[in-house]
Amino acid sequence: MSDASQAVPVTVKMRGFGVGEKSTVPISIVTAAAILAAWWLVSRTGLVAHLFLPTPAEVVSVAHSIWEDGYANATLWEHVSASLMRILSAALIAIALGIPAGIAMGLNRWAKGILDAPIEFYWPLPPLAYLPLMIIWMGIGEASKICLLTLAMFAPIVLSAQAGVRSLPVERVNAALSLGATRWQLFTDVVLPSALPEILTGIRIALGVGWGTLVAAELIAATRGIGYMIMSASHFLATDAVFVGIAIIAACAFAFSLVMRALERLLVPWHGKG
């Protein structure tokens, strides 16, 4: 049997794994609609009390009220802007420190030996475990909140940058050296571009972790923020307002993910096409 005849079944099999398939957006839309319909049905039929599961219409009504009048002595924009400031500040610090640390761990065994143990020690810990230390060491101001978020986002970025560097084929390095590349050229033209897809993926994961940690960070004597709004609403069993806060966090996290995907297409258009 010829090679050409053997290639056809392989192509057909690969389509089952998503290669060459159409967009999944319509499927996602239908799934979201089904979830909303199930939510509406369960809440309207009274299978779950409205105190615990309000209807979608009630959540939309409360969202409009919060948009118009604010919540917990602050406007909606004040809550959102406070959370965005904390997330973006922590993300910038985590990126500025995490990428160089991860690259150093991938290139140098001393850096890996020094940094690997503390990162692997604290990375599995939930942020609430070291939240009291942040309060003791830094007080209840913005510094403790941003530090908590930075620690949550730092490890994924470091580990992804390290993985990106260590996945670089040795043949590519040897080829660059044989062509007369300097160490700086080797880093900027070979190492960094090869590691960039993993780094961007790590940043996207870190932002997701950061949004997941936001509520814990805003437990520290906050008076503004989406997480604070959720916690304040939960104290009064205002489940509809809690749903609004969760939806806002989900929308912000989704927007950040879209931005990161756009950056990946811009900076590493070759990734995943080989």
Tell me the C-alpha distance between 199 and 95, whole Å.
9
d(CA 59, CA 23) in angstroms, rounded, equals 31
CA distance 25 to 34: 14
Of the candidates 143, 179, 15, 150, which has an alpha carbon nearest to the alpha carbon of residue 88? 150
* pTM for the predicted model, two decimal places: 0.81
Place of tokens 């802007």: 81
The tally of CA atoms less than 13 A away on the side-chain side of residue 65 is 11
Position with higher pLDDT, 214 vs 182: 214
Domains of the chain, each with CATH number or no CATH = 1-48 (no CATH), 64-267 (1.10.3720.10)
As a whole number of angstroms, the distance between CA 147 and CA 94 comes to: 10
Q: Of the spans 12-21, 45-54, 203-212, 259-268, which averages the highest pLDDT? A: 203-212
Average pLDDT, the chain: 84
* 212-239: average pLDDT: 86
Q: Is the pLDDT of residue 3 over 60?
A: no
pLDDT of residue 6: 45
Query: Is a pLDDT exceeding 60 seen at residue 17?
Result: no
Poorest-confidence range of 7-16, 139-148, 211-220? 7-16
Q: How far apart are CA 40 and CA 26, in angstroms?
A: 21
Task: Find which of 1-15, 53-67, 214-228 is predicted with most confidence, using mean pLDDT.
Answer: 53-67
User: Could you identify the residue written with the tokens 């880093």?
Assistant: 187
- At residue 125, φ and ψ (nearest 5 deg) are -75, 135
Share of the chain above pLDDT 90, in %: 31
pLDDT per residue as tens digits for the range 183-196: 787 777 788 888 89
pLDDT score at 271: 66
Sign of CA dihedral 131, 151, 94, 201: negative
Across 50-79, b (16+ Cβ under 10 Å) vs e yields eeebbbeeebeebbeebeeeebbebebebb
Q: Give the pLDDT of residue 88.
A: 94
